[in-house]
A and B are shown apart, each in its own frame.
Chain A
Amino acid sequence: MATLLVVDDSKIDLKRASLLLTKHIPEAEILCAAQGEEALELIELHAPDVVITDLQMPIMNGLELVERIRQKYPQIPVILMTAAGSEEIATAALKKGAACYVPKRELAVDLAPIVARLLGAARERIHHLRILNSISEVSFELQNDRELLVDFVYELREFLQHRGIFAEHDCFRVAMAIDEALANAYYHGNLEVSSKLREQDCFSFERLASQRREEQPYAHRKIFLKISLGEELTVTIRDQGPGFDLKMLPDPFDPGFVERPCGRGVVLMRSFMDSIVFNEFGNQVTMVKKINGTEIVSKP
């Protein structure tokens, strides 16, 4: 059953909004709060699906309440009820993360359909997450498209955060390791552009990469990525380039390393994952991160 929280210091308006919601969304449980602190307590206790709040309230106004909810419960959408003349502050609330606002004079017409739409979106999100949470192994065949790869890293980080197998900080670390491995596969693997160009100037490297994106044999190469989730997260990334000599990787303990403009990707991968292993050709890397402190089994 859906749970809705209505917040308003005006008893009349609170009653009106609650009755409207009860009439149009009879399956929902309606909770009521007369001010912000009380609303936050009810959110903590009942985790409502949607919060509908007045904008102008004493002690904690709607703007502050939106901010507090966004910080602690970013998944809960907030609808603002606004009186005439408060459009400016409503715009500020939208910037702070409110889902939308409904003028109080339009409540009878607009409130229920908006709440129903947000409830539908929340249900879809839950179904989506249930499917994502069922993944134990998944493979991708990615075009050598930098924008796609960057989007992929972002979505993967979101997925890891939703799945809750790592703390947020570790999700960033894992995402960065995968980001670096994909950048290596894209530039150095498939496009065969050497980091040495970066040491000359920042233009030559991008110029050659841009040129090769249109040329054969580079243009149609792909990146293969496999993720396994069990007691540990294992990510294998393979490109279709000729590979590289592992001995050519820069030594991070070399005194000149700090001043080098490039060569930090593999250092970051090694630091943020528990193990990384390249294949003999250097065109495939397997990275492992322990989940919840499980022991890692060393791989060849």
Chain B
Amino acid sequence: MKSQPSYRTQVVQDTIIIEFYEISKFLQDELGPELDRELGQPDLANCKHILVDCQHLKYANSLFLEILLNMAAQADQRQGRFALCCLSLFLSEVFEVTRLQGRWPTFDSREAALREIQAA
């Protein structure tokens, strides 16, 4: 089963921005391995930081949280920072319930997140 295209990556200086689309049907069982492979591609492998932009993400589930934990581990391995931006109210609640709130820095906008990450 192939997951729907549900994200796009972009590089700004040494930060990989992963922007998830609206995923009302969160069919992302293969998304973890797919992202893992993509982050290892030559154009992304040398970036230190990872920023996940959730602006268009209304719904997610525990598999999505696992993906975030994997990506955060990747940022650690690169000695970089991992951050999130533009979380919806529902996603914030999911983080709170699973005690992941405060685990990573979160920002209201992508610009604010990039400023903070790249200043560090």
- The answer to the question of A169 belonging to the interface, with a C-beta cut-off of 8 Å to chain B, is yes
Cα–Cα, bound, A151→B27 (Å)? 9
Q: Is the CB of A176 within 8 A of B33?
A: no
How many A residues touch B, CB cutoff 8 Å? 32
Q: Is the CB of A252 within 8 A of B59?
A: no
Q: Chain B contacts of A209 at CB under 8 A?
A: 29
Interface residue from B27, B59, B62 paired with A268 (Cβ < 8 Å)? B62
Cα–Cα, bound, A20→B7 (Å)? 45
Measured CB to CB, the nearest residue on chain A to B88 is: A172
Q: Is the CB of B61 within 8 A of A176?
A: yes
Interface residue from A150, A198, A258 paired with B99 (Cβ < 8 Å)? A258
- The answer to the question of A66 belonging to the interface, with a C-beta cut-off of 8 Å to chain B, is no
User: Range of interface residues on chain B?
Assistant: 20 to 34
Q: Is the CB of B25 within 8 A of A261?
A: no
- The answer to the question of A147 belonging to the interface, with a C-beta cut-off of 8 Å to chain B, is yes
Given A179-B26, A258-B103, do A172 and B59 touch, yes or no (CB 8 Å)? Answer: yes
Given A146-B27, A146-B29, do A264 and B90 touch, yes or no (CB 8 Å)? Answer: no
CB distance from B23 to the nearest CB of A (A): 10
- The answer to the question of B86 belonging to the interface, with a C-beta cut-off of 8 Å to chain A, is no
Q: Chain A contacts of B32 at CB under 8 A?
A: 202, 206
Q: Mark A251-276, 1 if CB is under 8 A from B, else 0.
A: 01000011101101101100110000
Interface residue from B25, B30, B69 paired with A206 (Cβ < 8 Å)? B30
Measured CB to CB, the nearest residue on chain A to B25 is: A154
Measured CB to CB, the nearest residue on chain A to B37 is: A203
- The answer to the question of B65 belonging to the interface, with a C-beta cut-off of 8 Å to chain A, is yes
- The answer to the question of A98 belonging to the interface, with a C-beta cut-off of 8 Å to chain B, is no
- The answer to the question of B45 belonging to the interface, with a C-beta cut-off of 8 Å to chain A, is no
Q: Is the CB of B59 within 8 A of A175?
A: yes
Cα–Cα, bound, A230→B99 (Å)? 33
Q: Chain B contacts of A272 at CB under 8 A?
A: 97
Q: Mark A165-199, 1 if CB is under 8 A from B, else 0.
A: 00001001101100110010000000000000010
Cα–Cα, bound, A203→B33 (Å)? 6
Q: List 8 A-B contacts (CB under 8 A).
A: A146-B29, A154-B24, A173-B90, A202-B32, A203-B33, A206-B29, A209-B29, A267-B98
